[in-house]
Amino acid sequence: MAGTHGFRIEARGIGKHFSGQAAPTLSALDLTIGGGEFVSLLGPSGCGKSTLLRLLAGLLRPSAGTIRWVASDGSSASGTTLPDIALVPQEPTLLPWKTVFDNVYLPLRLRGTARTAAMPRVLDLLRALGLEGREKSWPRELSGGMKMRVSIARALVTDPDFLLMDEPFAALDELTRHRLNDDLRALYTQRRPTVILVTHSVEEATFLSTRIVALSRGRVAWDLPVDFGAHRADLRDHAAFQALRGDISARLRADQAALS
Ligand SMILES: Nc1ncnc2c1ncn2[C@@H]1O[C@H](COP(=O)(O)OP(=O)(O)OP(=O)(O)O)[C@@H](O)[C@H]1O
């Protein structure tokens, strides 16, 4: 389904109040995300980024408000017409008793796709993510960056409409993070899923996204489009990139200052 820009998400009046907490984590939050956007969620620690992602993934229920998946013809999706959603967690949760190939093949296997039919797709993704030749490796033989590559390949193998990622690169060194950011951006350009990424890295958000949404006080604090045209590997060195990155950091510092 990816590339069809089939669905947009409409979150209206979203509230989330965890039991035992004095104040709600999210309150009266409105957000619309169009098909094919790459949205990064930024904001101070504890502002509710992961909670929002889990609500959008359907892993949590909102205490108030509605989340609708709207098809391009305006109809609300439900039941079997719901879009495919893949979640990449912070820790790459690979099955240790399965090879790299079989970890990535698993979502297709669960859908009844035969191994031989799945092979070109799995190998294509492994190649795109720099894992060629690693098909028969076991997760314990891989570095942290490689495990995350396998986790991303597994999330993409069903060609999901929505790719939701919760700080997937937080534990990686800067060079590995840059490489994975480059690969993710190339994959996004090729396949155009809708991506929602929770991150603390302003550089990562600026490099990857078509839009940055900052949360504060339980709702959207600001919402900024990002457009650098065709992406180049050296984009990070350009003055316009560094200026936007600086502007976003300043906005986040102002949000943080307003909280204290
Ligand atoms: N299952 C839960 N039960 C109770 N409280 C929760 C639960 N999940 C999250 N919270 C609370 O909701 C608030 C927001 O947490 P969340 O993880 O969404 O923030 P975040 O912006 O992603 O933070 P960080 O940037 O530190 O990862 C926190 O106060 C957290 O303790």
Query: Which pLDDT score, from 0 to 100, does residue 84 have?
Result: 82
Work out the angle between the directed axes of helices 115-128 and 100-110 (0-180°, nearest 10): 130
Q: In angstroms, what is the span from residue 13 Cα to ligand 1's centroid?
A: 19
Same domain, 26 and 139: no
The domain total for the chain is 2
- In-domain check, residue 185: yes
Same domain, 240 and 178: yes
Q: Rounded distance, CA 194 to CA 187, Å?
A: 12
Q: In angstroms, what is the span from residue 118 Cα to ligand 1's centroid?
A: 37
Same domain, 139 and 18: no
Same domain, 134 and 215: no
Same domain, 244 and 138: no
| Number of H-type helices and E-type strands within the chain | 7, 9
Question: What is the CB < 6 Å shell around ligand 1?
Answer: 18, 21, 25, 43, 45-51
Query: Which pLDDT score, from 0 to 100, does residue 79 have?
Result: 64
Same domain, 76 and 168: yes
Domain range holding 74? 7-84+162-259
Same domain, 170 and 150: no
Query: Which pLDDT score, from 0 to 100, does residue 31 have?
Result: 96
Nearest CA residue ID for atom 25, ligand 1 = 45
Residue 147 Cα distances to 95, 129, 144, angstroms:
11, 11, 5
Q: Which atom of ligand 1 is nearest to the CA of 215?
A: 21
Same domain, 230 and 123: no
Query: Which pLDDT score, from 0 to 100, does residue 1 have?
Result: 44
Residues in a beta bridge with 29: 14
Q: Rounded distance, CA 187 to CA 159, Å?
A: 11
- In-domain check, residue 53: yes
Query: Which pLDDT score, from 0 to 100, does residue 34 have?
Result: 93
Boundary-marking domain end, from 116, 141, 159: 159
Boundary-marking domain end, from 111, 133, 159: 159
Pocket test for ligand 1, best of 14, 16, 17, 18 (most atoms within 8 A of CB): 18
Same domain, 64 and 169: yes
Ranges in the chain, pLDDT < 70: 1-5, 78-81
Work out the angle between the directed axes of helices 144-156 and 174-191 (0-180°, nearest 10): 10
- In-domain check, residue 1: no
Same domain, 179 and 137: no
pTM more than 0.80: yes
Same domain, 219 and 249: yes
